[in-house]
Chain A
Amino acid sequence: MSPRATLAPTDTQLDPTAALLAGQPGEQRGWIFNIQRCSVQDGPGIRSTVFLKGCPLCCAWCHNPEGQAPQPELIVLDTRCIACGQCRNACAFGQAWDAAQPPRPPAENCALCGECVAVCPTGARQLIGEHRSVASVVAAVEPDRIFYDESGGGVTFSGGEPLLQPDFLKALLEACRARGLRTAVDTCGFACTETLLAVAQRADLILFDVKLMEEAKHRQYTGVSNGPILENLRALDRVHKDLWLRVPLIPGINDDAANLDAVARLALGLTGLRQISLLPYHRAGALKFRRLGQACALADLEPPSASAVERAAAHLRAFGLEVRTGR
């Protein structure tokens, strides 16, 4: 695993568009890779989750690997491909494609022009990553307002890592707040502290990921140090009153008693903590790595059993913590 970043990053390093577009709040644009309606795991109630593209981490168990790279990517859903060959015909480099099914252009030639995506009749080929304005994102989350109202839900900004596009994110949060939409930000916490706090000020709820408490293991599995993350969490806790910790439960990697104990001790020191969400590892990520044409480091890992999830939850509850488990 090659670390993408080893130091706490700054805004301009990680979001070049921030500098370009600063000062144009309405027209602010950013990269997103999906808007998921009827999302019920990313905060309270029924929500729309907006996934911002690009992440400073590269967790081995990532369930949204298409969100890792900051630039657009081509994915191919082999289950939908009918081998009609239209993609190859539409591509300027079509002759260079290998014969594999589903067909995939050689990475060195592909300019992500989208021609093969446009002609694909089944939607098997998709360009992941759209450069969208704040206004268009807000328009896309508005339709489910009646469900947010009914359920106490709202909009969650996730990723990828949303803090990688801080100005875009801040503008999105402000636009939602101005329209009376409640917001949450789901972050891995690996960002510059000022940015995190500025974002947190504009969000109703922060979902903060805690993956591994042991520094070396954190580096090994996510590519970065957990030092800045834990510092950020403590800084955040001093200013924000509504905080959920999210702990992915990865069998054999972070589900040991030592790690859970450390998570619990961390949680007990937080004043704004409302709950811990345990998110059991699932295999959606493995499927998506395949669609991206990438290898999945944990391809053979079995998801934890229901009883293993319950054991982990009980372990944390024994500390007096409020623990919920995802599916």
Chain B
Amino acid sequence: MTPRTAELRRQSLAAEPCLSGERARLITEFYQANTGHYSVPVLRARAFLHLCQHKTLYLGEGELIVGERGPRPKAVPTFPELTCHSLEDLQILNSRPKTWYRVDAECLELYERTILPYWRGRSMRDRMFAELPSEWRAAYEAGLFTEFMEQRAPGHTVLDDKIYRKGMLDFKRDIAAARANLDFLDDPAAYAKREALNSFDLSCDALILFAERHAALARELAEREPQPQRRAELERLAAVCARVPAHAPRDFYEALQSYWFCHLGVITELNGWDAFNPGHLDQHLWPFYQRGLADGTLTRAAARELLECFFIKFNNHPAPPKVGVTAAESGTYTDFANINLGGLLPDGADGANELSHILLDIVDEMHLLQPSTNIQLSSKSPDAFLKHALRVVRQGYGFPSLFNADAVVLEQLRQGKSLEDARAGGCSGCVEVGAFGKEAYILTGYFNLVKVLELTLHNGVDPRTGNALGPQTGAAASFATYDALFGAFGQQLRHFIDLKIRGNRLIEQMYAQEMPAPLLSVLIDDCIARGRDYNAGGARYNNTFIQMVGLGSLTDCLSAIQHSCFNGSPVARLELADLVAILERDFAGNEPLRQRLLHRTPKYGNDDDRADTLMRAVFDACFAAVDGRPDARGGRYRVEWLPTTCHVYFGSVTGAMPDGRRAGWPLSEGISPVQGADRHGPTAVLKSAAKLDHVKTGGTLLNLKFAPNVVSSDEGLDQWAHLVRAYFKMDGHHVQFNVVTAETLRQAQAQPEQHRDLIVRVAGYSDYFCDLSPELQEEIISRTEHGTLGNAK
């Protein structure tokens, strides 16, 4: 880091997350004055223009990359048109011990006087919940599934290389051409297309205006700046902002600033999940970098400093605060922008370059919470690249995570994408696969697989509340065989997947009709060519995902049932109904049985086919229930296996289960084994996990924890690299490593003030350990530390 970036980093870490009422005020005054005057798309584009015109700008001391979503770093705007926080919500956000957002009296008053009276009943969330079927609500409240779009807009979107080739003025020309081609006689959708294209065009103007305001501010500051060096910097910045994003960038600096304006535009227009993401940053910047070095306009040091400034910008942007259920499901400041390094070029060649290594060094040196980074490792990726990444992971910050670029291509080919689009794609958010710049791959919510088994064991009734939620598939005593039980589980699964999809149909159509995303539509192919919004199926590819949670826990539950209740010796046989009664009492008075279930039953994660075949059966049932069903944007439903932190919430609403888990304890996360159930080391975990057919998913998440001593030597690093390569040879999708000792984590629990900077891999992303809930902290500690005593079984 340079003194400049060290100072900017310090400021970014020190800034306190707070809510800013400005966006809510601007959007409310705009809606009050303009609702009903325009078509919905144009209204949204004009609302965005209004924000770009009036929002407070920020240009900090020493900054080279400029622009904030809020009035200053870590000041987070709200989106009342989507989710309108109540006063109580705001007070909770202000006072909760973890991931708080300070809310001042002025903001509270604004909400009380202006925001709430207008949006209560009008926000997407309020209207959605009024419309969703009561069955859906009952299942949602019981914790069978969550819903991403109740609080945030569909997003999960990553940019490709187009903004480095084209400016907003070029996009405006494309829009004009598409508009000129509309057939108002024979195309019944022509009017709707025109309104969409008009909204796209307006959003380009809005973003240009936003940049020009920054140019003017930089000029103004330059005039007043006494220091010649800073004055020159501000003048250069003014020139950059006057040029991009209106025009295509000409150099490295313009390329970064152009992306950042697009990023801010997308996350100001709506609050889509996972913010926004530059995707293959190393590949996109590579031509500018090479050209700059060749013609002498750029040095390596200058490029690195600009990249550091760029990284700090991400860190200045905590996620928009959520409330209620989703506060537990994702208690984090991170907004999941996840930069891809390496990977493949569209022509199939290796995509790693010198910038990939520079970016790894930056991740290593700055260790910021945001942005997330990952490496895309193909069979062509050099070992030096993998090992460089592992040396960074070894520091224990959880970055970067590791993806199998070859599997990522295969997964997309299976979905019907072109080979080139698949190679230009990658991973975003936690582990999710998409065709960057060409796809809307929307996550809809987590799905609690273990709760489905709990209902199966209670004939469709939730034992926690006594509510009948699922079909009556038979009492526990009625299952004569394991297959009969698993058949009933399949029926319950199908029932709740159907319910989830029914709800989603409504939500997706509400977004398509009432909450378009004009700027995002400009940036994603082929919205302009189709004259159709991103939220209405304008993207070239559309996929909708349900995130399955609890694979390891469910597998172990089924294994316990199979081995204790059906396959065991008749003498020792435990009746399923008796087991269910014991579970209802949370194993009270039956600790030895609980221990036997925990320790003497085949478990997923040990390369033991007795358990792993059950895991495959669960996978197949989920795949059959979801994959290929049509979504509302002309795409298909798919499965993903990632939990973020939802396995903790899902565990809290699920009673004691046959795997020995007590009521309320977290479920397993991603496709990782139950915490502590894997007893045969990392190769056995990887073998078990590879038995799942990763290519049929849109992403899987596997978490392994290593004690640092395992990988501290060069040989350790070599073997670690081999583990990763072997897992990827078996088509594994993703693996991430926590390299930290349990002792360190205990110290951090005891003295959080001294360990504020401790970042751990949680599940698909990294977070500050001290910001995690106590249960999640415990879980991270209890995750098996591989590489323990030589022969201790």
Binding site for B on A (CB under 8 A): 33-34, 36-38, 40, 45-46, 51, 63-64, 66-67, 80, 82, 84, 86, 121-123, 126, 143-144, 146-147, 149-151, 153, 284, 287-288, 324-325, 327
Residues of B within 8 A of A84 (CB): 591-592, 595
Indicate the member of A38, A51, A67, A86 with the most B CB atoms within 10 Å.
Answer: A38
| Residue B573 lies at the interface, judged by CB distance under 8 Å to chain A | no
Say whether A122 contacts B790, CB under 8 Å.
no
Residues of B within 8 A of A147 (CB): 683, 722-723, 726
- A197, chain B: closest CB distance, angstroms: 28
Say whether B593 contacts A64, CB under 8 Å.
no
| Residue B224 lies at the interface, judged by CB distance under 8 Å to chain A | no
Say whether A151 contacts B791, CB under 8 Å.
no
| Residue B684 lies at the interface, judged by CB distance under 8 Å to chain A | yes
The residue on B at minimum CB distance from A34 is: B791
Contact partner of B684 (CB less than 8 A), chosen from A37, A51, A287, is A37
Residues of A within 8 A of B463 (CB): none
In the A-B complex, the 10 residue pairs with the closest CB atoms: A151-B722, A121-B595, A121-B596, A38-B681, A284-B789, A150-B726, A38-B683, A123-B599, A84-B592, A121-B592
- A90, chain B: closest CB distance, angstroms: 12
The residue on A at minimum CB distance from B791 is: A34
Say whether B791 contacts A45, CB under 8 Å.
no
Interface string of B511-523 (1 = CB under 8 A from A): 0000000000000
- A326, chain B: closest CB distance, angstroms: 9
Cβ < 8 Å to A, chain B residues 767-793:
786, 789-793
A252 to B720, CA, bound (A): 34
Residues of B within 8 A of A143 (CB): 607, 683-684, 687
- A258, chain B: closest CB distance, angstroms: 28
Residues of B within 8 A of A80 (CB): 599
Contact of A284 with B792 at beta-carbon distance under 8 Å, contacts A46-B723, A143-B607, A150-B722 already known: yes
| Residue B600 lies at the interface, judged by CB distance under 8 Å to chain A | yes
A126 to B793, CA, bound (A): 9
- A21, chain B: closest CB distance, angstroms: 26
Say whether A45 contacts B719, CB under 8 Å.
yes
The count of residues in chain B whose C-beta lies closer than 8 Å to any C-beta of chain A is: 36
Residues of A within 8 A of B600 (CB): 121, 123
A327 to B786, CA, bound (A): 14
| Residue B755 lies at the interface, judged by CB distance under 8 Å to chain A | no
Interface string of B715-726 (1 = CB under 8 A from A): 110110011011
Cβ < 8 Å to A, chain B residues 648-684:
680-684
A153 to B725, CA, bound (A): 14
| Residue B744 lies at the interface, judged by CB distance under 8 Å to chain A | no
Binding site for A on B (CB under 8 A): 591-596, 598-600, 607, 680-684, 687, 709-710, 712-713, 715-716, 718-719, 722-723, 725-726, 729-730, 786, 789-793
- B418, chain A: closest CB distance, angstroms: 31
Contact of A146 with B789 at beta-carbon distance under 8 Å, contacts A40-B715, A123-B600, A327-B712 already known: no
Known A38-B786, A122-B596, A151-B719; further 12 A-B contacts with Cβ < 8 A: A37-B681, A40-B715, A40-B719, A51-B791, A64-B790, A84-B591, A121-B592, A123-B600, A123-B793, A143-B683, A144-B687, A150-B726
A-B contact pairs, 29 of them (CB 8 A): A36-B791, A37-B683, A38-B682, A38-B683, A38-B684, A38-B723, A40-B719, A45-B722, A46-B683, A46-B719, A82-B595, A84-B595, A121-B599, A122-B595, A122-B599, A126-B793, A143-B607, A144-B683, A146-B726, A147-B723, A149-B726, A150-B722, A151-B718, A284-B792, A287-B789, A288-B792, A324-B715, A327-B713, A327-B716
Say whether A86 contacts B722, CB under 8 Å.
no
A19 to B791, CA, bound (A): 29
Contact of A64 with B791 at beta-carbon distance under 8 Å, contacts A143-B687, A147-B726 already known: yes
Residues of A within 8 A of B607 (CB): 143
- B386, chain A: closest CB distance, angstroms: 12
A288 to B713, CA, bound (A): 26
- B465, chain A: closest CB distance, angstroms: 32
Say whether B599 contacts A146, CB under 8 Å.
no
Residues of B within 8 A of A82 (CB): 591-592, 595
Residues of B within 8 A of A64 (CB): 790-791
A110 to B289, CA, bound (A): 75
Say whether B592 contacts A37, CB under 8 Å.
no
Residues of A within 8 A of B682 (CB): 38
Residues of A within 8 A of B591 (CB): 82, 84
Residues of B within 8 A of A123 (CB): 599-600, 793
A147 to B718, CA, bound (A): 12
The residue on A at minimum CB distance from B729 is: A146
A284 to B789, CA, bound (A): 6
A195 to B791, CA, bound (A): 27
The residue on B at minimum CB distance from A151 is: B722
